[in-house]
């Protein structure tokens, strides 16, 4: 059981991925792996680069550097960064949903799911109008498409509304329909961008149930902001901050990682307290007991400009002190803080987190940004 995993155990391998937009480094040297049959969550504050990672995986962006390998069940391997983007769903069998729901709101639920199978139906029609005249292969494909649509409507608990316009559905049901639509393309990897954002607890529970069901047949890569969703259903969590990976492991490992709590949960002090109480980790609570953020005012953007880096790590009597200049890049701040934490035993991490390093960590700016979009997992947070 403890044999070293081979590459075929991983549906997705991301290696040294970088994405730059002009001078802005949205992702910097990111590597992680997603295991087949698992739910891998990609989390991090707003602007951390999560959607950009998805856009690279699904071919919307061509990465500046790096390799994205998809290993299919049949043993075939695809380098996604080299595939034309329209071939990624069709050949590599990667499907995605978007941060903002994209459905045909005037079409019925069933029609939405049939449109998703358009390619299959066109192929069966021989790319001609013969399908309209009952070409046998077309009839067969058409019956199969309806059956598949019905299957996913049932799984999404939407079969009763199959003939209603998608636009009439409540928000949580629209999210599930979007996922059902992605599943109708027969993906091996399903990429979901913040599916729980703006859902109420009941809708969130229904979503979790659907995802746990999908996991039986399809690997899932999930961007999520709502920690309760991540903790409940993920097998593996990768944490990003300013385009850099700051933690990678089981939900339990990640939730008690001081860097994650400082960087990610720092967006909301109340949420930090809630999670810490839940975790019951007094040591971490103490590490985060820092003063107000003097380095990063609310006006700071979460984007990470390449610029002069003048961060320094000094060894002082009271412990290691990291100085982060205002002009330093955000990536350099993350790296400096990571170096500070990595360079000392856990118990010695306290002075560093209480220094300017720690004060740079709680993301007051991110909190402001979060407020401008639906607060994930909180009722009424939808647009």
Ligand X SMILES: Nc1ncnc2c1ncn2[C@@H]1O[C@H](COP(=O)(O)OP(=O)(O)O)[C@@H](O)[C@H]1O
CB of 381 to Mg ion, least distance (A): 15
Q: Give the one entry of Mg ion, ligand X, none that residue 133 binds, where binding means its C-beta sits below a cut-off of 5 to 8 angstroms depending on kind.
A: none
Shorter beta-carbon distance to ligand X: residue 231 or 302: 302
Q: Which of 259, 315, 39, 347 has its CA nearest to residue 323?
A: 315
Shorter beta-carbon distance to ligand X: residue 179 or 302: 302
- Nearby residues of 240 by Cβ (< 8 Å), 6 or more positions away: 27, 30, 42, 43, 44, 48, 49, 50, 53, 246
Distance CA 86, CA 343 (A): 45
CB of 271 to ligand X, least distance (A): 17
CB of 376 to ligand X, least distance (A): 11
The two three-digit tokens of residue 358, written as one number:
């720690």
CB of 326 to ligand X, least distance (A): 18
Q: Give the one entry of Mg ion, ligand X, none that residue 26 binds, where binding means its C-beta sits below a cut-off of 5 to 8 angstroms depending on kind.
A: ligand X
- Nearby residues of 294 by Cβ (< 8 Å), 6 or more positions away: 356, 359
Q: Give the one entry of ligand X, Mg ion, none that residue 24 binds, where binding means its C-beta sits below a cut-off of 5 to 8 angstroms depending on kind.
A: ligand X
Distance CA 39, CA 34 (A): 8
333 binds Mg ion (CB under 5 A): no
CB of 192 to ligand X, least distance (A): 13
The two three-digit tokens of residue 356, written as one number:
């300017």
Q: Give the one entry of Mg ion, ligand X, none that residue 232 binds, where binding means its C-beta sits below a cut-off of 5 to 8 angstroms depending on kind.
A: none
Site stretch for Mg ion (CB under 5 A), options 44-52, 73-81, 140-148, 226-234: 44-52
The two three-digit tokens of residue 34, written as one number:
């997603």
Shorter beta-carbon distance to ligand X: residue 2 or 372: 372
Site stretch for Mg ion (CB under 5 A), options 50-58, 212-220, 228-236, 360-368: 50-58
Q: Give the one entry of Mg ion, ligand X, none that residue 204 binds, where binding means its C-beta sits below a cut-off of 5 to 8 angstroms depending on kind.
A: none
- Nearby residues of 290 by Cβ (< 8 Å), 6 or more positions away: 353, 354, 358, 359, 361, 362
Yes or no: say if 191 and 96 are a contact pair by the CB < 8 Å rule. Answer: yes
Q: Which of 33, 40, 51, 174 binds Mg ion (CB under 5 A)?
A: 51
Q: Give the one entry of ligand X, Mg ion, none that residue 48 binds, where binding means its C-beta sits below a cut-off of 5 to 8 angstroms depending on kind.
A: ligand X
Point out which residues bind ligand X (CB under 6 A).
21, 24, 26, 44, 46-52, 302-303
Shorter beta-carbon distance to ligand X: residue 23 or 126: 23
Please report the beta strands in 73-157, taking only residues with DSSP state E, as ranges in sequence order: 77-79, 94-96
CB of 42 to ligand X, least distance (A): 8
Distance CA 277, CA 360 (A): 23
Q: Which of 349, 67, 91, 95 has its CA nearest to residue 218?
A: 95
Shorter beta-carbon distance to ligand X: residue 124 or 302: 302
The interaxial angle of helices 136-155 and 171-183, nearest 10 deg, is 140
CB of 59 to ligand X, least distance (A): 14
Residues of the shown chain interacting with Mg ion in the complex, contacts defined by CB under 5 A: 51
């Amino acid at each position: 059981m403890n044999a070293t995993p081979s590459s075929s155990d991983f549906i997705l391998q991301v290696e040294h991925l970088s994405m730059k937009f002009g001078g802005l480094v949205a992702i910097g040297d990111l590597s992680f792996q997603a295991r087949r049959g698992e739910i891998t969550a990609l989390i991090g504050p707003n602007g951390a680069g999560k959607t950009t990672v998805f856009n690279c995986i699904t071919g919307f962006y061509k990465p500046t550097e790096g390799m994205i390998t998809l290993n299919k069940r049949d043993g075939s391997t695809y380098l996604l960064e080299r595939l034309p983007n329209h071939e990624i769903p069709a050949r590599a069998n990667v499907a995605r949903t978007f941060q903002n729901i994209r459905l045909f709101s005037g079409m019925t639920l069933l029609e939405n799911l049939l449109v998703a199978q358009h390619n299959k139906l066109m192929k069966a029609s021989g790319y001609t109008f013969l399908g309209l005249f009952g070409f046998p292969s077309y009839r067969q494909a058409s019956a199969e498409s309806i059956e598949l649509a019905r299957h996913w409507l049932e799984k999404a608990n939407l079969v009763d509304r199959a003939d209603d316009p998608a636009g009439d559905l409540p928000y949580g049901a629209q999210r599930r329909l979007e996922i059902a639509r992605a599943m109708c393309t027969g993906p091996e990897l399903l990429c979901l961008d913040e599916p729980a954002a703006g859902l109420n607890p009941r809708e969130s529970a229904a979503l979790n149930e659907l995802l746990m069901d999908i996991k039986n047949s399809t690997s899932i890569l999930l961007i999520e902001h709502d920690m309760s969703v991540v903790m409940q259903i993920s097998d593996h969590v990768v944490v990003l901050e300013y385009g850099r990976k700051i933690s990678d492991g089981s939900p339990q490992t990640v939730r008690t990682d001081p860097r994650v709590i400082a960087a990610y949960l720092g967006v909301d002090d109340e949420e930090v307290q809630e999670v810490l109480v839940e975790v019951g980790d007094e040591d971490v609570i103490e590490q985060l007991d820092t003063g107000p953020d003097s380095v990063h005012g609310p006006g700071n953007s979460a984007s990470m400009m390449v610029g002069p880096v003048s961060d320094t790590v000094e060894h002082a009597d009271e412990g290691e002190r990291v100085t982060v200049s205002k002009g330093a890049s955000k990536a350099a701040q993350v790296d400096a803080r990571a170096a500070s934490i990595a360079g000392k035993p856990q118990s010695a991490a306290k002075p560093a987190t209480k220094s300017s390093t720690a004060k740079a960590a709680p993301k007051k700016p991110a909190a402001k940004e979060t407020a401008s979009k639906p607060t994930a997992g909180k009722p009424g947070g939808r647009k």
